[in-house]
Amino acid sequence: MSNGVIMTTDIDEMSELLALALQRSDRAEACIGQASRVDKLKRLSGGANMETWALDWQLGEQRIPLILRRLPSGKSESAGLDVFGQLELPTEAKLVQLAGQHGVAVADVVLVLSPEQDLGVGYLMTREQGEALPKRILKDEKFALARQKLAGQCGEILARIHQLPLDDLPSGLSDRTVDQRLEGMQASLDRYGNSSPVLQLGLNWLREHQPGNSRRCLVHGDFRNGNLLVDENGVTAVLDWELAHIGDPVEDLGYICANVWRFGNIDKPVGGFGDYRQLLDGYESVTGYRPDMEAVIYWEAYAALSWGLVCQSMLEMYRNGLDRSMERAAIGRRMSEAEIDLLLLLDGRL
């Protein structure tokens, strides 16, 4: 059941429920009378915040590969909103649909689940072709040509995201000023005893060096290597929109350059595969506007601090016994990496 009641995870029962739900989709209505069933249902991830399932929808002679994103069993919709500001899944689905209508490479949303379908809170979308694992994208010879143009493509895609009309965006998107967000960061540092002088130093610098004349637009919020599907020709789809919000567009440009998302290729600041010039060239080719590098570095520092706060929260979850998994401890250990990244970014800027 949905909305806080335990949902089934039995593969056969869940497949039947999904097949019934999909019969109400627009695609099924266009194929009236054709048999519908769900095959090869498989859980892809075991994250605490979100479930991801792969399945094949057989509609008559068509085989349609799909992905289901839903809240974990037993969680209500509001319980799925963690401290990092995740969107409600129906809002995320609307946003993905809107982005696709404006030329952003995304999966096609097939169906948003409703309570009477007994499948919980979530939505179904097409399963696009491509690789998402950063290490493969960065090392596999298969993607050699794609790597040469990925940074420019990322700039172009971000430009299209940032041009989505504000009036068309679904309600529910966070819209806080930079000052309000920095205050939230300070509260997070204080909550954990302000144990990192480096993170506090970074926050102080961000307060003192806010870029002027920032614009407001849709910001993806988690646009990085790992949230992009890539094939031999480049990006096929942008994934994971749950951190989208209203903000400064340069935030996305700085975020993808954060060292944590370079996966060891520290000499290639854009996702481990490209350079700043390629990213900004791509962005300018669509918008006619080229962000200042100082603003990009500002948001790169913001991203480093944000990652440090994520690591700190994971560490506290482990220490407090809320989650004793190895994953929480390992991510918590990486707070020192965020501190080093901040110090390197601020060297000569203080």
Residue ranges covered by each domain of the chain: 11-126, 134-346
pLDDT, average across residues 334-340: 96
Whole-angstrom Cα distance, residue 86 to residue 3? 17
The rounded percent of the chain whose pLDDT value lies above 70 is 92
Segment 169-178, tens digit of pLDDT? 999 999 999 9
Location of structure tokens 């790992």: 226
Domain 11-126 has CATH 3.30.200: yes
- pLDDT (0 to 100) of residue 248: 97
Closest to 115 (Cα-Cα) out of 231, 20, 201, 1: 1
Q: Is the pLDDT of residue 78 over 60?
A: no
- Better-predicted residue by pLDDT, 5 or 154: 154
What CATH code is assigned to 134-346? 3.90.1200.10
Asked if 262 and 272 count as a contact pair (C-beta separation under 8 A), the reply is: yes
Residue 100, both tokens: 């696709």
**3-state SS string for 217-275:** EEECCCCCCCCEEEECCEEEEECCCCCCEEECCHHHHHHCCCHHHCCCCCCCCECCCEC
pTM of the model: 0.91
Order of strands, edge to edge, in the sheet holding 109-112? 36-45, 51-59, 62-70, 122-126, 109-112
What are the φ and ψ backbone dihedral angles of 199, each rounded to 5 degrees? -65, -40
- Establish how many alpha carbons lie within 13 A of residue 49's alpha carbon, considering only the half-sphere containing its beta carbon: 12
- pLDDT (0 to 100) of residue 74: 45
The rounded percent of the chain whose pLDDT value lies above 90 is 79
- pLDDT (0 to 100) of residue 47: 53
Residue 60, both tokens: 């008559």
